[in-house]
């Protein structure tokens, strides 16, 4: 089975969930004169590509550590071009069956 990574890169421009805090980077040490950079990263738990366990929506549900990710996240899929609806023409005409 061919695996396709659907995650998006995490960075300062990664949009958070509406009403949640974005990624913030605070430098507390710069390369000169200390010889190393040090950053403090803060963000909300709903930033970028992430997975919520069942317990996030259903109290007696499983947490992430209890899920078999091979069964939960890996399987056949379809890539559908929605660029006409979103205004993004980068992948116009793309429809692929995966898996």
| Residue boundaries of the structural domains of the chain | 9-50
Structure tokens, 38: 């040090």
Residue whose C-alpha is closest to residue 44's, from 58, 64, 27, 24: 24
3 state SS of 23: coil
Structure tokens, 5: 């990574």
Return d(Cα 31, Cα 50) in angstroms, integer. Answer: 31
- Residue 82 is predicted with a pLDDT of 78
Residue whose C-alpha is closest to residue 39's, from 28, 55, 23: 28
pTM above 0.75, yes or no: no
Residue whose C-alpha is closest to residue 18's, from 42, 40, 44: 44
pLDDT, tens digit only, all 99 positions of the chain? 677 787 888 888 888 888 998 999 998 887 777 678 888 999 988 888 888 888 988 999 999 888 887 777 777 778 787 777 776 655 555 555 555
Return d(Cα 6, Cα 15) in angstroms, integer. Answer: 16
- Quick count: other Cβ atoms within 10 Å of Cβ 10? 14
């Amino acid at each position: 089975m061919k695996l396709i990574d659907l995650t998006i890169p995490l960075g300062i421009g990664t949009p958070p969930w509406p009403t949640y805090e974005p990624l913030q980077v605070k430098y507390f040490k710069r390369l000169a004169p200390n010889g190393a950079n040090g950053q403090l990263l803060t963000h909300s738990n709903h930033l970028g590509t992430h997975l919520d366990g069942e317990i996030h929506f259903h109290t007696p549900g499983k947490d992430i550590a209890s899920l078999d990710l091979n069964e939960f996240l890996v399987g056949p899929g379809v890539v559908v071009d929605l660029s006409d609806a979103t205004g993004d023409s980068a992948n116009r005409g793309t429809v692929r069956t995966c898996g």
